[in-house]
Amino acid sequence: MYLFQFFHNMDIESVLKGSPWTFNNHLLILCKLERGEDPLKVPLIFIPFWVQIHDVPIGLFYENLAIQLGNFIRAFLEYDGSNLGKENRNYMMVRVKIDVRKPLKRKKQVMCCGVCSYVKFKYERLSLFYFYYGRLGHNDYFCEIKMMLGVDIAEMGWDLSLRA
């Protein structure tokens, strides 16, 4: 754990808004401490990510759907509709808070006009990621679960399509 001191509120806000940050391809989980808060008691398990939501059916590009899908991923923080229709960017953008202990969500079924389809999630600035069970900050070089189960790489459920 490292403690950083900023002398201007603008600097800390800029750093927090720019996350996720990495060092040597490992996620840095940042948290703003309140005055008097014990840094050793702060749970460093949540990190914000921008997520692209692809394959949204025509007619469903609404902020309300973006909020619902953001909350499905984990916890919705922000919606950015500024990219819709620009340079063939036909996807929604949401910022979500993710629990690094849980697997990333890959897709979600949605219904439009009585037809079911899947929207797919792509995570921007996705760093070290373990494809066997979809968790952040982990790799397969030494994984006790993989070694115990003897799972082959071909059986892994996640792939590079999660990266934006």
> What contacts 87, CB < 8 A, 6 or more positions away?
none
Residue 1 lies in a domain: no
The range of the structural domain enclosing residue 18 comes to 9-162
Residue 113 lies in a domain: yes
Distance linking the first and last C-alpha atoms of the chain: 29
Print burial letters for 25-50: b (CB count within 10 Å at least 16), e (below 16). Answer: eebebbeeeeeeeeeeeeeeebbbbb
Residue 88 lies in a domain: yes
The predicted-structure confidence for 92-115, as pLDDT tens digits, reads as follows 999 999 998 888 899 999 988 888
Backbone angles phi, psi at 40, to 5 degrees: -75, -15
Low-confidence ranges of the chain (pLDDT < 70): 85-88, 128-163
Q: Which pLDDT value is given to residue 154?
A: 47
Domain count, the chain: 1
Q: Which pLDDT value is given to residue 41?
A: 93
Q: Which pLDDT value is given to residue 132?
A: 52
**pTM (2 d.p.):** 0.81
